[in-house]
Amino acid sequence: MSLPRGFGSLSGRRVFGFNDPRRFSGPGRPGGHLGLRLLLGCGLLAAASLSAVPSRWQLDGDQGGPTQAQINAAENQVRQQQAALGAEQGKLSAADTTLGRLQTQAEVLTQRYDEVQVDEQRAASAYQVTEARLSQARRQEDVSQSALAGLAAEEFESGGGFDPLTAMLGDASGPQAYLNQVGLGQVLAQSGTDTLAANQANDAVAKVFQTQARDLLTAQQADLRAANDLKLAIRAAVARQTAFVASTKDRRNSLAAELASAQAHESALQAARQAALAAQAAAAAAAAAAAGGQGSTQVPPWAWGSGATANQGDIAANWALSQLGKPYQWGGTGPGSYDCSGLTMDAWARAGVQLLHYTGYQWEEGPHVPLNELQRGDLLFYATNTSDPDTIHHVGIYIGDGMMVDAPYTGAFVRIDSIYQPGGLIGAIRPAG
């Protein structure tokens, strides 16, 4: 009869098989046939308790626990849920990619909007400057016109080289006729050419500046409106895509919960079947010992069971997920910070299983589990040399779908990683209940 998983020789430190007498050596350890009788007595009690409380499978008429067909059906259900979850995860990844692209476009357009806004502010400032220049030019024009009037008056009073009185008396129309006779152009030609030129130049330059500044301001304001429209459009697109990602993530999480339920059901079937097999193995070992009186035998303290239940694993995994974002700290055991083994120790304490705060010891605190039989809550170990458990340096807690929660290293935070991400995966255990 095959032994349940976790019996026999295990690849761990200080974890010995049935025939290794070292577990009985040393102070405080039972020896010889006494130890065997004590241990077998525990096994018989476990077998008796299993037979005394009928399970739902026993009530269905199957005295050996769940059948392999039932387990196969549960495994098939898990595979279907995994496929559905994988498809939804693919949709979520594509949606996240699209959202990332839109967010990048939003950043580019926002920066473009900022640039145009600055340019519009500069154009407005330039327009204000030219308005000020125009006002100054008009003031200078007023001064120039006053100067021209003064020149004309002086010319009139001086008579333009003639005797003023004679010139004025000679014309019955008075000074105005005199100016008309002499001609304003002649007056300017004689003494006001520079003043008139300055007056005309100030007016012309101011008008040119005003026209250019107004055109620039108008163009920049149009660019600003267009940039703002683009910014609003891309932000709306980002908002729509964000909502789509959120709904897709909700669907993914719902499928993940369904998968976890299917995995828990499968694990419960596996655990019940292995418990029944363990009871049979214990009874057989007891019968063999009673008949043959063989020498001392010892197994790990958890070997009469098959590790913690699926429900305990869910409790530990779910609690670990609630610690995401807390900082890594050497020797940290919570509640504010953790190192890797402190996190797994605290998580399993919530499920009623006491572990030691050291990866090397935790490696020995439950049956070793093949990677294709992992269930939520199992501990995954990492070593610099995957053939030598003495080099184990990291541990994480499995949460399903190839992922784990771990406290990775100084400067990082409790997070979700792929079970293959750290590298050097040496194996997994299921903590003993």
Q: What is the pLDDT of residues 212-258, one digit of tens each?
A: 778 888 888 888 888 888 888 888 988 998 999 999 989 888 888 88
- The 3-state DSSP class for residue 393 equals strand
Spatial neighbors of 155 by CB under 8 A, at least 6 apart, are 179, 182, 187, 190, 191
Q: What is the pLDDT of residue 32?
A: 38
Contacts 24+ apart (CB under 8 A), 76-80: 77/262, 77/265, 77/266, 78/259, 78/262, 78/263, 78/266
> Is 22 among the domain residues?
no
Do β-strands 415-418 and 425-429 pair in parallel, antiparallel, or remain unpaired? unpaired
Spatial neighbors of 104 by CB under 8 A, at least 6 apart, are none
Same domain, 247 and 331: no
C-alpha 54/C-alpha 177 separation (Å) is 137
Rounded to an integer, what distance in angstroms lies between the CA atom of residue 373 and that of residue 432?
16
**Which residues on adjacent β-strands are paired with residue 327?**
413
Does 87 reside within a domain? no
Q: Are 236 and 119 in a shared domain?
A: yes
CATH number at residue 182: 1.10.287
User: In sequence order, which ranges of 293-384 are alpha helices (DSSP H)?
Assistant: 310-321, 340-349, 359-362
CA–CA dist 20, 25 (Å, integer): 10
Total domains in the chain come to 2
User: How far, in whole angstroms, is CA 410 from its chain's centroid?
Assistant: 19
Do residues 127 and 218 share a domain? yes
Q: Which two tokens stand for residue 302?
A: 């958890």
Q: Which two tokens stand for residue 318?
A: 């779910």
Amino acid at 196: L
Q: Is the dihedral of CA 95, 97, 103, 109 positive or negative?
A: negative
Q: 142 burial class (0-12, 13-18, 19+ CB within 10 angstroms)?
A: exposed
Whether residue 258 is contained in a domain is answered as no
In a domain, 16, yes or no: no
Same domain? For 225 and 317 the reply is no
pLDDT score of 214: 81
Last residue of a domain, one of 214, 229, 251: 251
Q: Decide: residue 198, CB within 10 A, 0-12 exposed, 13-18 middle, 19+ buried.
A: middle
pLDDT at res. 405: 97
User: Does 414 fall in a domain?
Assistant: yes
pLDDT of residue 355: 95
Q: What is the pLDDT of residue 339?
A: 94
DSSP 8-state symbol, 390: G
CB neighbour class for 40 (10 Å; exposed up to 12, middle 13-18, buried from 19): buried
Q: Chain-centre distance of CA 348, in angstroms?
A: 26
Residue 300, preceding peptide bond in cis (omega within 30° of 0)? no
pLDDT per residue over 269-327, tens digit each?
777 776 776 676 667 767 776 776 544 445 555 554 568 999 999 999 999 999 999 99
For residues 242 and 146, state if they share a domain.
yes
Query: Alpha-carbon distance 182 to 171, whole Å?
Result: 12
Q: What is the DSSP string of 202-242?
A: HHHHHHHHHHHHHHHHHHHHHHHHHHHHHHHHHHHHHHHHH
Domain edge (last residue) among 209, 225, 251: 251
User: Is 340 inside a domain boundary?
Assistant: yes
The angle at the Cα of 262, spanning 378 to 247, to the nearest 5 degrees, equals 100
Residue 64: what residue type?
Answer: G
Residues 244 and 336 reside in one and the same domain: no
Domain of residue 384, residue span: 307-433
Q: The CATH number of the domain where 366 resides is what?
A: 3.90.1720.10
Report the amino acid identity of residue 269.
Answer: L
Residues of the chain with pLDDT under 70: 1-64, 148, 151-203, 205-206, 274, 277-278, 280-282, 285, 289, 292-306, 433
Same domain membership, residue 247 and residue 315? no
Let me know whether 107 and 245 are in one domain: yes
Q: Are residues 377 and 237 in the same domain?
A: no
Task: Tell the burial category of 91 from Cβ atoms under 10 Å away from its Cβ (0-12, 13-18, 19+).
Answer: middle
Cα 13 to Cα 102: distance, rounded to the nearest angstrom: 53
* pTM for this entry: 0.35
Residue with the two structure tokens 């520079």: 194
Is 371 found in the same domain as 241? no
Residues 235, 110, single domain; the answer is yes
Q: Is residue 235, in this structure, part of any structural domain at all?
A: yes
Domain contains 84: no
Domain finish residue from 235, 251, 267: 251
Residues 107 and 230 in one domain: yes
